[in-house]
Structure formats: structure tokens, C-alpha cells
Structure 1
Amino acid sequence: MNQVHATRPEHSPKDHPAVPRGKIGVLLANLGTPDSYTYWPMRRYLNQFLSDKRVIDYPSWKWQPILQGIILTKRPFSSGEAYKSIWNHELDESPLMLITKDQTAAITETMKTRFGDMVMVDFCMRYGNPSTESKVRKMVKAGCEKILFFPLYPQYAGATTATANDEFFRALMKEKWQPAVRTVPAYFGHPQYIESLAASIEAAYGELENRPEMLVVSYHGMPTRYLKEGDPYHCHCQKNTRLLKERLGWEDTEITTTFQSQFGPEEWLQPYTVDEVARLAKEDGKKRIAVVAPAFSADCIETLEEINEEIKESFEEAGGEEFTYIPCLNDHPSHIAALSQIIEENLQGWIG
């Protein structure tokens, strides 16, 4: 295995300090989480998130008065209550933070076994802490001459992958000596990812006494306008579902694609998950459904609270009887293996 040590640069004076060189950084990135579910941490987090032009692209003169004067006055309370319902109170962290830490630790072990001390693995959040800038600085100081930036979004979207990359490049702008960098592209079609996703569904179905009549594959939504402006997210989601269906060997009547988490007055990608599950129960007479959320690499507020509480309630109020939420892949060994394989493929040419 390769070992990396701090050494004095060649031809430098004898009193020159040893400099750690030669490492490769792998920086995982996820959306982020508030530091707490109380008002001010929630407000800071929501302000950063909802002020991102990649997320909401309205002109600042139009959007900021609404955001600062109305939304950020009320929404921290409702969002805080939602976070409180899923918060790990013992460790005082959100599920997304805990799972991302576990994913990072598992991938670190895999990379260490494969490459020794040559690869440094860490994580950052686009919004909140730990910031992208702080982790880029840490990697540069540790001697990373190359950094692979890995947004943990299987499907590409401007509001997820692109804004994470934006923040990464902004951090690099502050470095005197920039490392060479690469970014990992969308990986929804990677065979190991599809295999891991399909296996999780098969395992969940295998534990149920009654097989669900429909699998609802729910992706985070976005305004339909973004699709018309060239964002490939909708296409990636549809293809993700098709690849999953083909791997499972299912019929079209057993699986459907929906979109959740719509926000604001615009039309978003449809059908909306919350409405579709109710329609399945009321109009199609489906009494048993399962929901899986492949747009999320880790369980978070949109899965644990929105799907497993709000969307579940919508299904049951419409007459549904058995609702099964299939967790995200999180730090399952097959998911870690898939992510590690994607990392190794993207490190080709950088490391032996």
C-alpha cells in the first residue's frame, strides 16, 4: 500500500520544514442540515438554502423581500417542528448528518484498504456545516495535490449537483495553490448503484406479509420551467426508474414515478407524490403501496418526515391500508461498495 509522509522539498535548505505532499482528496458533498431545530439555526439554514439562485432563481429585488419579510419569519417554526420529530436528541444531530458521517467512515476504510494513506476522504455540506470551503482548506493543508469532488446526488440537477460544484469552485478560488480537481457526474445508471437499489427493494418486499400492489418511486421535485430550460433532472429520474424496473423484472403496472417537495406557486414536475398516492388509493383501489426515494443518498427530512409521515397520511386518509417506506441506501455495505467503485473509476489516471 502507498504511504504518504511529510518530507523536506528537494534542494531546499536544511532548515526548511517538512511538507506533506502527494495525497489525493475525495470530498463527499450532501445538501446540508441545520445545526439545531430551534428558530435561529433553522432561520440561518433556510436563509442560505432559499437564497441560492440555483434553487430559486427569481430576481433578488422580487424574492428577497418575500423571503426575509414573510417566509423566514414563519417557516423556521414549522420546519423546526418537522426536524424535531426526526432529530437524534441523544447525539443532538440530524439523521442526514449522522448517516453522512457513517458513509464517510465506511468509504474511508475502503479507500485505506485499497490505497493506504494516499487517499484522504472527508465530507462537506452545501448549506450549513461543515462548509465546503473549510473542508477544501483542510485537504489542501493536508497535502492533497488532487481533489475528487463527489456530490451525493444520483441524478444531476442544477439545484443540487450544480450548486454543490459551484460552491466547491468558489472555495478553490481562495487557494493560492489550487489542487487539480475532478467532479463526479450523475451516477444513477451505474450498474452497482442500480443493483444496490434493486436489492434494497427486494429485501424490503421479502419482509412483508403482503406484497405491495404498487412501488412509488418518489424523486425530489423541481419547477417544470427548469426542465424546459435544459435541466436533465426529469430525464435522469425517468431513466433511473426504467433501469430499476428492468433490473427487478417488473411490469409497468407495478412501478410508477412521482415527484415530491413542491414549493411556491409555480407548476412543478408531476405527478406530485402526495396527490398520486391518494389517487392510487381512491381511484385505483390500491390498498398496499411501497415508496422508495432514489434521489436521496441518505435519509433526511424529505424521507423520514415528508414521506413517512405526510405522504403516508395522504394515502391512508384516501383509503389506503398498508404503507411501506423503503429507506434510502444510507451506509448499507452494497451502497458503500457502489460509491467506492464510482470513486475508484473517477480516480483512474490519478492513482494506481
Structure 2
Amino acid sequence: MPKRAVLLVNLGSPDSTSVPDVRRYLREFLGDERVLDLPAAARWLLLEGIILRTRPKKSAHAYSEIWRPEGSPLIITSKSVQKKLAAKLGDDTPVYLAMRYGNPSVASVIAQIAADGIEEILLFPQYPHYAMSSWETVVVKVFEEAAKLAPKLTITTVQPFYADKDYIEALYEVSQPYFAQAHDHVLFSYHGIPERHLRKADSSKAHCLTVKDCCATCSTAHATCYRAQVLATTRALVKRAGIAEDKYSVSFQSRLAGEPWLTPYTDFELVRLPKEAGKKNLLILCPAFVSDCLETIEEISGEGKEIFMGAGGAVFQQIPCLNDQAPYIDFVHGRVQRWLVGETPEATRAKAFLDA
């Protein structure tokens, strides 16, 4: 049998909360053509001429608010997932961890995989939903580095698992103790993307944001439609938890100014819900992230709570991400086990996607 391994890849974090480290991280992150998908010259001017002159200091402060003695929460949690998954798989199937931006880098980990004599890997992007700025950029980066550093390596990629019944069950198990508490409303806050990204990902160029109720109208475009996928996750979890239609809503957090992003915006909803809808006791969860990070801890638990309470809210409770909790480890382990025994209808060769 070929020597096999698992490669987990998450977003990443700066090496520290220092402004230079944050600037270096943002340069790599926002310099990605799938994140800021502008022509190279325009992307460089925006990044170097505007964003990196002001944002690193502000972001460094935000990171300092969530940093732990051991480092970045996202890195700490990701390493714990790696360790717990490795314990369940045993020595025959090593588990590697890389970050799309920052350290440990994809290149360094692919080099280590090659040095260890690994012949096949299961690439497991830590993103439930497809987006060119998340799932796709991870897959592309891994294949690019493998082509240079380990050209004989066989790579199988776990596809976005937004509607996988075991993933939904993991979300339910983690969320149910909070759903059982008294509350007026549940807000599903997903990371935002520009509307333009939906149109670019629509291979038909005639469905996303073009057809009325496009996310509710069956289409092959949904295979690469972030909005359709997050709504599918929401519907599945709401059904599993028995949440009434008038007791939940969906919003999108994090955006850059200058163009339309997916709406409604989370910060606007955190004002509207208590002030206009009378929803004073709120549960909020962020299923686009498997690990709590800057966007969930600082942006939601910090700024988001302040906005909600300032608008007249009474109780604000954030449901943690899956993190390294047992339901998520069991889900990931189950997917890996299916790959190991050859039962992988949902894990396809990523090269077919890249060549399409």
C-alpha cells in the first residue's frame, strides 16, 4: 500500500501581534489574487498605497485583544485538531497541518511530506463552503507547491462539506446546549464576500444574482456558489434543531468598502434586531469558520456584542465554533476513514476542478 497522510489547511495568523508581523501577514493574505481579485498593478497600488499604510496597526491591536500566551487562537485550535485526529488515526496515517497564509506555510509542509516519503495525501481544507478566497485558494496553493516540491504526490481533496449530514450533526451537537437556553432569535453570521465573486464563480454566467431567488432555484452553479451553500447549511441545521422560521436569520460579516458585498450585513442586523424587531435575547453562531479566530472572537464577541447591547439588546450569547470539540474530530475522522478504505464519493480529484 502507498504511504498515506492527511493534510489539514486553515487560514492562518500573523506570527505575533507586532505591527511588522501583522503587515507581513496582511501583505501575503490580501496580495492573493483570489482574495483581492484585481489586476496585478491595481492590487499592488491598493495594498501598498492604502491598506498596508493604515490597517496593520489597527489589526495588530485587534489581534492583541484575542492573543493567548501560547499564540494565535486559530493556530492553537488547529494544532489541537491535528493532534486529536492523529491520535484517532494511529501511526499508520500521519496528520500534517499547514496555513494558507503565515506559518507553518504550505510550501514547508509539502516539503516535509515529500521528505517523509508520503505518496498520497487527503487534502482537507478547513472550510465548509466553497469560495474562491477560501477553499479554492487553498487547493490551488497546495497543488502549485506539490508540483514544484513533490511532483509524484497523489492528492485527493475533500470537497466543501456544507451539507454533509455528519457535519450538520456536529454543528447541532455543539450548538444544542445553547439552543436549549431561552432566546428570542438565532443569527447565523457568515463571512462576507463581494457579490462579484459569486458572478465569477458561476460557470454559466447566467444564474447567480441574475435569476430571481437564485439560491432557491436548482442550478449546477450552486457547486461553486458560496451564498447558496451557506443558506443550505442554515436550512439543514435549522431543520435538525427544530428552529421556527421566524426565529432565525442570516447575515454576512467582514467587508471592504467600495463595492457591494453580500447582504444583510451583520453589524446592521445587530442594530435592527433589538431596535426594530424587538429581539433582545440573541444567540449568534458563525458556521463559515470551523475554528474561533479574529473574526469570531474580536469581531462578533467583542464589537458585535457592543453594537447589539448599545442598540437595546439585553442578552448576547455567541455559540462557539466547532474548534477541537469531539463532534468535529469525529466528523473529520469519519471522512478520512472513508478515504482510507476507498469509499470517497464526495472526495474528488482536485485537479479536475483546477482544469475545468
Q: Is the 8 A contact 1:22 1:118 kept in 2?
A: no
2:133 is the counterpart of 1:159:
yes
Q: Write the distance in 2 (CA, Å) between the matches of 1:350 and 1:238.
A: 27
Say which of 158, 170, 178 aligns to 2:152.
178
- Distance in structure 2 (CA, Å) of the matches to 1:235 and 1:345: 26
Q: Write the letter of the residue equivalent to 1:329.
A: L
Q: Offset of 1:217 from its aligned partner?
A: 0.6
CA distance in 2, matches of 1:331, 1:66: 37
Contact 1:148 1:347 in 2 (8 A): no
C-alpha distance in structure 1 between counterparts of 2:127 and 2:46, whole Å: 29
Give the alignment partner of residue 106 of structure 2, picking from 106, 129, 132.
132
Q: What residue is the counterpart of 2:36 in the other structure?
A: 56
Q: Which residue of 2 aligns with 1:40?
A: 20
Give the 3 Å change call, closer, same or farther, for CA 176–295 of structure 1 in structure 2. Answer: closer
Alignment of 1:284-295 (within 5 A): 284-295=277-288
- Report how far residue 110 of structure 1 moved: 0.9
Contact 1:45/1:128, CA 8 A, preserved across alignment: yes
How far apart, in 2, do the equivalents of 1:281 and 1:175 lie? 54
Taking the aligned partners of 1:137 and 1:284, their CA distance within structure 2 comes to 54
Q: Is the 8 A contact 1:281 1:320 kept in 2?
A: yes
> How much has 1:248 moved relative to structure 2?
0.7
Contact conserved, 2:114 with 2:150, CA < 8 A, in 1?
Answer: no
Q: 2:74 aligns with which of 96, 109, 117?
A: 96
Instruction: Look up the match of 2:67.
Output: 87
Deviation of the 1:350 alpha carbon: 8.8
Preserved CA contact (<8 Å) 1:34 1:42: yes
* CA distance in 1: counterparts of 2:257 and 2:82, whole angstroms: 34
After superposition, the Cα gap between the structure-2 partners of 1:287 and 1:72, relative to the gap in structure 1 and judged at 3 Å, is same
Partners of 1:65 and 1:256 in 2: CA distance: 38
Structure 1 match to 2:84: 106
Distance 1:225 1:271, change over 3 A: same
Q: Are 1:23 and 1:120, in contact at CA under 8 Å, matched by a contact in 2? A: no
Aligned counterpart, 1:339: 332
Matched, 1:25 2:18: no
**Partner secondary structure for residue 142 of structure 2:** helix
How far apart in 1 are the matches of 2:295 and 2:64?
13
* Corresponding residue for residue 221 of structure 1: 192
Cα deviation digits, residues 189-246 of structure 1 (max 9, x gap): 111211111122211234x4xx111110111000011112224110000000000011
Aligned-pair CA distance for 1:177:
4.5
In structure 2, the partner of 1:296 is 289
- Whichever residue aligns with residue 301 of structure 1, its letter is L
Q: Is the Cα–Cα contact under 8 Å of residues 174 and 327 in structure 2 kept in the other structure?
A: no
Partner of 1:327: 320
Aligned to 2:54: 74
1:29-67 superposed Cα distances (whole Å, 9 cap, x missing partner) = 000100011111000000000011101111122221221
Shift of 1:280: 0.7
Q: If you compute each CA radius of gyration, which structure gives the higher value, 1 or 2?
A: 1
Of 272, 281, 301, the residue aligned with 1:308 is 301
SS at match of 1:29: strand
Distance in 2 between residues matched to 1:179 and 1:205, nearest whole Å: 44
Distance 1:339 1:213 in 2: 32
Corresponding position of 1:5: none
Q: Give the aligned partner of residue 208 of structure 2.
A: none
Partner Cα separation in structure 2 for residue 264 and residue 158 of structure 1? 19
Q: Distance in 1 between matches of 2:189 and 2:342?
A: 37
- What is the TM-score normalised by the length of structure 1? 0.89
> Aligned partners of 1:150, 1:256: CA distance in 2, in Å?
29
Secondary structure of the 1:119 match is coil
CA contact (8 A) 2:192 2:255 kept: yes
Cα root mean square deviation, aligned: 1.5
Task: State, as a whole percentage, how many aligned pairs show the same letter.
Answer: 38
Aligned length: 322
State the shift of 1:176 in Å: 5.5
Deviations 1:77-136 (A, max 9, x none): 000000000001x22x11001000000000001111xxxx32110110000000111111
- Please give the residue correspondences for 1:264-279 in structure 2 after superposition, counting only pairs within 5 Å: 264-279=257-272
Question: Contact 2:26 / 2:56 at 8 angstroms: preserved in 1?
Answer: yes
**TM-score, normalised via structure 2 length:** 0.88
Distance 1:203 1:263 in 2: 34
Cα separation, partners in 2 of 1:146 and 1:266, compared to 1, 3 Å: same
Q: Does 1:283 align with 2:276?
A: yes
Measured in 1, the distance between the counterparts of 2:86 and 2:237 equals 28
Write out aligned runs for 1:207-218 (5 A): 208=181, 211-218=182-189
**1:347 and 1:160 mapped to 2: Cα distance?**
25
The superposition leaves residues 237-290 of structure 1 with CA deviations (integer Å, 9 ceiling, x where unpaired) of 000000001101121111111110111311100111110121011110111111
Structure 1 residue 22: deviation in Å?
A: 3.5
